[in-house]
Amino acid sequence: PSTWQGYQDKESLKLFECYEDELKYYTEKYHYSPTDGKVVGQHEGAHFFTIGQRKGLHVGGTVEPLFVIDTDTEKNIIYVGEGHAHPGLFRRTLFVKKEDIHWIRTDLALSLHQTMEVAVRIRYRQPLQKATLYLTNSGLYVDFSTAQSAITSGQFAAWYLDDELIGSGEIY
């Protein structure tokens, strides 16, 4: 683990806090509303669908396949986007609440304002992806080197050093 650019001095700590604000921004999902699009079908309940899901939508007539890009279970709405490259499918950063961080290698657990270069997996059998962990007061930011498809709240991120699993946490 490395400390964020010598955060012990006040100026460096302010720099870390500014970067933390940027990480918060990148973790926020776009808030879709019914006025953003049109009704393309009916379903049995938004809670049955997950971000990135393609199967089971039963909607045709589009050039490319549709994917779930967001759900609103309170209003029972599923938002879909067309194509594998739809921007609504991708985010570069995810967040794990402090209480949901699990270190398998406790000797490698980060201290406040420390960072660590790791490889991360957010789906079963997904190839490991390069990322940086940032530990803050509220939790852990996982900032990928490239945007990831279908980062989904409630699922898990697992981080590795080489091929060794060292920690995991529930995606918020």
Predicted confidence band of residue 27 (pLDDT cuts 50, 70, 90): confident
What is the predicted pLDDT for the residue at 158? Answer: 99
Spatial distance between the Cα atoms of 16 and 3, rounded to a whole number of angstroms: 10
Contact (CB, 8 A) for 78 and 68: yes
> Do 39 and 8 belong to one domain?
no
Domain total of the chain: 2
> What's the mean pLDDT when you consider all of the chain?
88
Spatial distance between the Cα atoms of 109 and 116, rounded to a whole number of angstroms: 10
Spatial distance between the Cα atoms of 14 and 7, rounded to a whole number of angstroms: 8
> Do 22 and 62 belong to one domain?
no
What domain range is 152 assigned to?
Answer: 2-28+89-170
The answer to whether the Cα torsion of 127, 69, 135, 8 is positive or negative is positive
pTM comes to 0.80
**Residue where a domain stops, chosen among 44, 67, 85:** 85
Nearest to 73 by CA among 168, 155, 153: 153
Number of neighbours of residue 105 by Cβ within 10 angstroms: 11
Segment 57-86 mean pLDDT: 91
